[in-house]
Amino acid sequence: MQKIVLIILLLANMGWANCPNFTTYQAEKELLSLESQIAIWDNAYFINGHSLIPDEVYDQVLNRYQQLLICFPNYQQTDFSQQVIINHKIIHPVVHTGVKKLTSIDAIKNWMVNKTDLWLQPKIDGVAVTLIYEHGILVSAISRGNGSYGENWTEKVKLMPMVPQKIITLTPQVLLQGELFWLVENHIQKQHGSNNYRSKVAGTLMEKLPNHDKLSQIRFWVWEWPAGPPMMTQRLTELKQMGFNYGVDDTTAISTFLQAQAIREQLFNSPLNYPTDGIIIREGKRPAGQYWQVKEPYWIIAWKYPIQEKLTVVKDIQFSVGRTGKISTIIYIEPITIDSKKITRLYLGSINQLIKTDIAIGDSIAVKLSGQSIPQLKSIVWRAVDRKKQPLPDEKVFTFMTCFTYSKACHQQFLARLAWLSGKQGFNFNHISQATWLKLVNEGKVTSVISWLELELNDFANIPSISEQQANNLFAQFQLAKQSSFVLWLAALGITDLPPTINQYCWQDIVLWSIDEWQTKTNISLSKAKKYRLLVNSEQINKLQKTLARQKVSGFF
């Protein structure tokens, strides 16, 4: 029973309430595919220092992988982490440890309990490296690699003029661990995100021919001196005397969670000259470097900024027809929350965009919020092994000239027309939403985009969920619409963006206009002039015109 409870808690923490409905064969294929993808990312990051996906998305993928292992415990796991040590050239004299990433406030508070020598550092979003100085001269630079082995970056780092090439010290050998980062100006992490600054550093390191402008943009942030004095204050003092500023000046002693929270918030929202992705909280005193291991140590944690990109799974793909007949793609996803906003779907755009991105049901995608808090597809993280593609609708079925009257096939476009004409672009009706129109359509009260004009007050009786007060409101606004201008009624019929000067004309005038006259008198584009001339001379619009004439609407009689 305890094991079942543990599994449920783990699944909840990873974002899935239930295990996916995979057969054993499907699960094996998905896990093998995921392992292969993770190995590709790891090789790029640990060997080349190049991050193919954001850290926060990578962490979520690992969570998803661990969940699948819990759901399918009989799977024989591949040790994909071992694939990344092939071709490593240099062994680290002192290994790079990992860092435990805590996300909940309670977990961070619990970690800080009974610890008195705590220090906070910005978590720099750069490329981890070991620098070795002998008698004050830089002699070696090794990429983090897998923590035990790394690539030889000495030649390139020696060409970085702003990375200390000489330091002031009497210590025969000084080994430092830190971060190569891209110097920026007024970078506000909350607004600008990572901006691929880490990739810029990695790319500069990988270029065959040195680019001195780029090399001059890179700085070194020291965050550890494994063989340094045991106390943090002394380490910082001596590092400062050696000539290091980044990582020394920004390390702050803290004693409470509230201090850590305030500094984290300040770093996230303030202009800085370095990119960050959270904070590091560490104990000042820790074991000497020879005792470190390539795993998460007990003396240090990371508290990253709120996740800006969330991993989710495509559950369904549907299509929506708009007012003008344009078909849009809607991606329904496994529910996620970003910045307290629950997201269950996102709009991808046109069918061509769906074809271009090649998204299918079952794919895992990263979603972020735009500046206007609109969910957007950021990337396809990996494609499912068994993918289900939706049949594409025929884009020729619906046009700007279709669905002025209701039919089952026209359901979406017809409702979109009604919602538009009652919105701010049209009559600006109060408390009349698409849901209101749907009620009237379902009851057979509205059968064309203007048939609501002919409704009497008693026609609203016995319509479910429309009260007497609502009925009076609807009827009053519908009657008032009869007094609207000619140009506004043309917009309701889909003839939009016309100037107020059109009110001097009437229907009998515009049906006779040539394409040139449409352009001259309305200042619209040639393509619109052609469309509008077709529309006003179409049979279905002329039927609507007769109704408007009977209702004595301005310009139609």
pLDDT of residue 244: 97
pLDDT category, 59, cuts 50, 70, 90? confident
Structure tokens at 305: 């900024």
CA distance 49 to 41: 10
3-state secondary structure of 271: strand
Smallest Cα–Cα separation from 486: which of 473, 471, 503?
Answer: 503
- CB of 94 within 8 A of CB of 289? yes
Count the Cβ atoms, other than its own, within 10 Å of residue 104: 10
Q: Catalytic residue at 408?
A: no
**Pairwise pLDDT comparison (31 vs 17), residue with the higher score:** 31
Q: What is the mean pLDDT of residues 530-548?
A: 92
Structure tokens at 430: 């109060």
- CB of 363 within 8 A of CB of 392? no
pLDDT of residue 85: 40
Q: Please identify which of the residues 29, 100, 123, 240 carries the catalytic annotation.
A: 123
CA distance 174 to 137: 9
- CB of 289 within 8 A of CB of 309? no
- CB of 90 within 8 A of CB of 343? no
Give residue-wise pLDDT tens across range 89-148.
Answer: 688 999 999 999 998 999 999 999 999 999 999 999 999 999 999 999 999 999 998 888
pLDDT category, 14, cuts 50, 70, 90? very low
> Across all residues in the chain, what is the average pLDDT?
89
Q: Determine the length of the chain.
A: 557
Is the pLDDT at 487 greater than 90, yes or no? yes
From 11-15, 203-207, 416-420, 537-541, the region with the lowest mean pLDDT: 11-15
DSSP-assigned letter for residue 500: G
pLDDT of residue 235: 96
Q: Give the start-end residues of each E strand in 196-308.
A: 218-224, 252-254, 271-272, 276-283, 300-304
pLDDT of residue 172: 94
Give residue-wise pLDDT tens across range 246-282.
Answer: 999 999 999 999 999 999 999 999 999 999 999 999 9
The dihedral of CA 46, 52, 56, 62: what is its sign?
Answer: negative
Q: What is the mean pLDDT of residues 309-325?
A: 94
- What percent of the chain lies above the pLDDT cut of 70? 93
Q: How deeply is 365 buried, as exposed, middle or buried, from its count of CB atoms within 10 A (0-12, 13-18, 19+)?
A: buried
Taking only Cα atoms into account, the Rg of the chain, rounded to an integer number of angstroms, comes to 32
The 3 state secondary structure assigned to 300-340 is: EEEEECCCCEEEEEEEEEEEEECCCCCEEEEEEEEEEEECC
pLDDT of residue 84: 39
From 360-374, 395-409, 501-515, the region with the lowest mean pLDDT: 360-374
